[in-house]
């Protein structure tokens, strides 16, 4: 893997170095993006990881070669992009930081996402919903079939701690 960009310049996203790929993670819903809640709400969104993914995708949609150099893998409680191209991940992280610093840029990206139908919805029950959608699980964090939905992670009940442990370290939101 090539040299890593200066991820220390990005105070709100975590860089996770892996054996074969690296990841950039951002946990929405905290103090870093609280000022953007109204921006997301104005578009009928919660501001979750899927919404951040849609906004970042929209901001980069005209840069198709860049989009081919990493993969999105967000969850409700976590924005995630991963790949083996650290330069591309640095550019993704710069977009997240730009949205945090300049809400007007997030508004523009959400408008593009709407125009181009780029909104990502969760494949999991009870997550990734538009604001005002009915709750589907009725089981708190445990959805249908004993699937755990909290802190940006989904796993069978028996494996929730092991599978979600790394996400909980980043998001600090793994519930019992």
Task: List, for residues 58-75, the tens digit of each pLDDT value.
Answer: 999 999 999 999 999 999
Cα distances (Å, whole numbers) of residue 111 to 34, 57, 66, 138: 20, 12, 21, 32
Question: Residue 60: inside a domain, yes or no?
Answer: yes
Question: Residue 111: inside a domain, yes or no?
Answer: yes
**SS3 for 159?**
helix
**Residue-range definition of the domain harbouring residue 64:** 7-115
Lookup: tokens for 39 = 């921006």
pTM: 0.69
Question: Residue 94: inside a domain, yes or no?
Answer: yes
Task: List, for residues 41-52, the tens digit of each pLDDT value.
Answer: 999 999 999 999
The total number of structural domains that make up the chain: 1
Contact 48, 99 (CB under 8 A): no
């Amino acid at each position: 893997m090539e040299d890593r960009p200066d991820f220390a310049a990005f105070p709100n996203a975590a860089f996770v170095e892996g054996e074969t790929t690296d990841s950039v993670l951002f946990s929405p819903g905290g103090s870093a993006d609280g000022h953007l809640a109204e921006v997301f709400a104005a578009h009928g969104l919660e501001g979750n990881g899927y919404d951040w993914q849609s906004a970042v995708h929209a901001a980069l949609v005209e840069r198709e070669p860049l989009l081919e150099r990493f993969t999105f893998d967000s969850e409700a409680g976590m924005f995630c992009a991963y790949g083996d191209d650290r330069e591309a991940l640095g550019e993704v992280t710069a977009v997240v930081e730009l949205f945090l610093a300049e809400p007007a840029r997030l508004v523009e990206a959400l408008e593009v996402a709407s125009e181009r139908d780029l909104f990502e919805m969760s494949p999991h029950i009870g997550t990734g919903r538009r604001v005002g959608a009915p709750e589907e699980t009725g089981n708190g964090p445990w959805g249908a079939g004993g699937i755990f939905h909290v802190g940006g992670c989904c796993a069978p009940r028996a494996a929730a701690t092991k599978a979600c442990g790394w996400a909980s370290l980043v998001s600090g939101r793994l519930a019992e």
